[in-house]
Amino acid sequence: MPPMKVVLITGASSGFGMLVAERLLAEGHAVYAAARRVERMAPLAAKGAHLLAMDVTDAASVEAGVAQVLAEQGRIDVLFNNAGYGSYGAVECVPMEEVRRQYEVNVFGVGRLIQAVVPHMRARRQGVVINTSSVVGQISMPMLGWYASTKHAVEALSDALRMELGPLGIDVVVIEPGPVRTEFEATAFATFARVAHPEEYRARAAAFERFSHAMYAKAPGPESTADAVMKAIHARRPRARYATTWMAAVLPRVRRWLGDRLFDWAMLGRLK
| Residue 2 pLDDT | 64
* 219 conformational bin, left if phi > 0, alpha if psi -120 to 50, beta if neither: beta
Give the pLDDT band of residue 151 (cuts 50, 70, 90).
Answer: very high
Higher pLDDT, 183 or 16: 16
Mean local confidence (pLDDT), 154-172: 98
Q: Give pLDDT tens digits for 94-114.
A: 999 999 999 999 999 999 999
| Residue 221 pLDDT | 85
Mean local confidence (pLDDT), 160-175: 98
Predicted structure pTM score: 0.94
CATH number (2.60.200.20, 1.10.3720.10, 3.40.50.720, 3.90.78.10) of 6-270 reads 3.40.50.720
Q: Is position 147 annotated as part of the catalytic site? A: yes
| Residue 189 pLDDT | 85
Catalytic residue among 32, 147, 201, 242: 147
| Residue 172 pLDDT | 98
Please name which of 59, 76, 164 lies closest in space to residue 121, comparing C-alpha atoms. Answer: 76
Q: Quick check: helix, strand or coil at residue 208?
A: helix
| Residue 1 pLDDT | 56
Tally Cβ neighbours within 10 Å of residue 193: 10
Give the pLDDT band of residue 148 (cuts 50, 70, 90).
Answer: very high
Q: In what order do the strands lie in the sheet with 170-176?
A: 50-53, 30-35, 6-10, 78-81, 127-132, 170-176, 241-243
Sign for the pseudo-dihedral over CA of 239, 241, 245, 249:
negative
Domain ranges in the chain are: 6-270
Specify the DSSP class assigned to residue 104.
I
| Residue 214 pLDDT | 86
Q: Pick the range with the lowest mean pLDDT from 49-58, 215-224, 241-250.
A: 215-224
Q: How many residues does the chain have?
A: 272
Give the pLDDT band of residue 188 (cuts 50, 70, 90).
Answer: confident
Please name which of 107, 113, 108 lies closest in space to residue 76, comparing C-alpha atoms. Answer: 113
| Residue 187 pLDDT | 83
Q: Where are the beta strands (DSSP E) in 84-158?
A: 127-132
